[in-house]
Amino acid sequence: MDETYVAVFLDSALSKGNLLAPLSLLILFFARFLPIIALSPFFGSKVLPNPVKLMFALTMFAIFLPKLLLVTTTPLDFNPQLILLLVKEMFVGICMGFIISMPFMIVQSAGILIDHQRGGASLMINDPTIQNQSSPIGTLFNLVLIFIFFFVNGPFLFIDVIITSYDVIPPDQYINPAFFDKNTAFWQMQIGLLNKMMVTTMRLCSPAILCILMTDVFLGIANRLAPQVQITFLGMPLKSLFALAIVCIGWNLFAAELVKLSYTWIDNVAEMLKMFKSTEVLPPLVTPMLSN
């Protein structure tokens, strides 16, 4: 640790006899980092026990400490101001955790739609990463994306983004009140991300759904030509097999799309952080361009 870090640390910890400043900094770090852990499947989300999450956050605090000491320029203390800063840090952490969890929601939703259309809606199972009901293909897609996210070093890239967030929003500084205007770039970006989330979900599941639709159409034509054939009992297994076949045939393309999806949403988190400083009010119908 160089002399700058030491000077800032001593100023935070010892000015006015304040020995609780490092503990205040730890609390503020937990307020930002714990929501990220709780919302990010690749950090354990709901799989990790709470004591493990706490120790993981404490370990990360030791790594982040030089950066925190560098960006913290005012002494911290246990007072009402710390509570306001705590709320602000939780808000930033929830925003970052929610946006980085969106790709996993996308692939899970795509799998659920495929299972629903192929007649597997009753096969809902518990997804261990989110502790919620999901379909078999939805759970598979979610677990595959977690593996790919680690394969492309996504967690480390995201940690770099978290480090950058302390340059944009230091723990001892407030958010500009103009940020909360409904027409600022940040809020319009969120609307754009939700729209992009739905479009990407439909794009990932559309090959299997189109195959199921074509199967229904051909079976309907066959039923008109041979009414005595039990199309209902014939169609259910055919739709399921064809949908699974399309998923297997396009697996390489699907995996490549998941790699792009991982990088894109990490970039979206970085872009979102820049908007915390921007107070420009946009026209109501203008939405910022998002990374493709």
Closest CA to 244 of 108, 118, 109: 118
Taking the C-alpha atoms of residue 248 and residue 260, their distance in angstroms, rounded to an integer, is 19
pLDDT at 287: 43
Compute the distance between CA of residue 228 and CA of residue 181 in angstroms, rounded to an integer: 64
Q: Which two tokens stand for residue 285?
A: 């119908």
pLDDT at 284 over 70: no
* Rama region for 127: left / alpha / beta (φ>0; ψ in -120 to 50; rest): beta
Three-state secondary structure call for residue 134: strand
Residues 6+ apart with CB under 8 A from 45: 37, 38, 39, 101, 129, 130
The pTM of this model reads 0.81
Cβ–Cβ < 8 Å for 125, 134: yes
User: Which residue in this structure is represented by tokens 């001593």?
Assistant: 10
pLDDT tier, 158 (very low <50, low <70, confident <90, very high otherwise): very high
Task: Name the token pair of 210.
Answer: 């189109």
Whether the CB-CB separation of 174 and 143 falls below 8 Å is answered with no
For 267, the token pair is 């970039």
Question: Three-state DSSP class for 157?
Answer: helix
What is the rounded distance in angstroms from the CA atom of residue 199 to the CA atom of residue 201? 5
**Domain ranges in the chain?**
3-277
Q: Read off the pLDDT of residues 262-275 as tens digits, 9 standing for 90 and up.
A: 999 898 888 888 87
pLDDT tens digits for range 3-43: 554 455 555 454 444 567 788 888 999 999 999 998 888 88
Using CB atoms within 10 A of its CB, is residue 118 exposed (0-12), middle (13-18) or buried (19+)? buried
Span of 188-202, 218-232, 248-262, 277-291 with lowest mean pLDDT = 277-291
pLDDT digits (tens, 9 = 90+) for 218-256: 887 877 777 777 776 777 788 888 888 998 998 999 999
Q: How far apart are the first and last CA of the chain?
A: 39
